[in-house]
């Protein structure tokens, strides 16, 4: 009487490892793009939040937009608790909360990250806020055009 040992052969194990490798090679890039898209969604949601807070400020102050660097929006958390972080993936200036306030002309995008806000009454874009970036998002649109 001999006992037959049941085990996997080396070939079977190598095939399983190869299959796992192929699946990982397909899945990992997909997960990376999902993370980038979630950051883009966070930034677009932050832009909508900022625009809503500016509009509520405008309504409360009888037709005047904030004339500062938007610090009046977070004062006592009346309009928003904090300025949202701009999380722009695949650009040199991601994860920024700075606010660029051009002093003249139309809204000028300096492409340094953060937010661009037109705070001068004489500005044609007075009260307008945009993402301060001239790079493209995953859909091919320039960030500052949102």
pLDDT tens digits, 28-69: 888 878 888 888 999 999 999 999 999 999 999 989 999 888
For tokens 């993370």, the residue is 35
The mean per-residue pLDDT over the stretch 91-107 comes to 68
Query: How does pLDDT run across 108-145, given as a tens digit for each residue?
Result: 677 888 888 888 888 888 899 988 888 888 888 988 88
Is residue 124 within 8 Å of 102, Cβ to Cβ? no
Q: Taking 80 as the threshold, does the pLDDT of residue 4 lie above it? A: no
Q: Taking 70 as the threshold, does the pLDDT of residue 91 lie above it? A: yes
Is residue 101 within 8 Å of 115, Cβ to Cβ? no
Q: Is 91 helix (H, G, I), strand (E, B) or coil?
A: coil
> In angstroms, rounded to a whole number, what is the distance separating the alpha carbons of residues 60 and 73?
11
14 is written with which tokens? 């190598």
For tokens 């998002």, the residue is 137
Q: Taking 70 as the threshold, does the pLDDT of residue 27 lie above it? A: yes
Q: Taking 50 as the threshold, does the pLDDT of residue 100 lie above it? A: yes
Bridge pairing between strands 115-117 and 99-100: parallel
Q: Taking 60 as the threshold, does the pLDDT of residue 15 lie above it? A: yes
Cα-atom radius of gyration of the chain, to the nearest Å? 25
């Amino acid at each position: 009487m001999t006992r037959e040992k049941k085990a996997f052969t080396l070939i079977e194990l190598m095939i399983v490892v190869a299959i796992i490798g192929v699946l990982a090679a397909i899945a990992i890039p997909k997960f990376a793009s999902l993370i980038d898209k979630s950051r883009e969604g966070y930034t677009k949601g932050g832009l909508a939040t900022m625009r809503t807070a500016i509009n509520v400020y405008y309504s409360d102050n009888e037709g005047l937009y904030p004339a500062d660097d938007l610090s009046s929006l977070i004062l006592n958390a009346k309009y928003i608790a904090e300025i949202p972080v701009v999380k722009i993936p695949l650009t040199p200036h991601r994860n920024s909360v700075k606010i660029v306030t051009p002093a003249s002309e139309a809204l000028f995008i300096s492409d340094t990250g953060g937010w661009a806000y037109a705070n001068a009454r004489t500005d044609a874009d007075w009260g307008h806020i945009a993402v301060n970036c001239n790079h493209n998002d995953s859909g091919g649109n320039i960030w500052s055009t949102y």
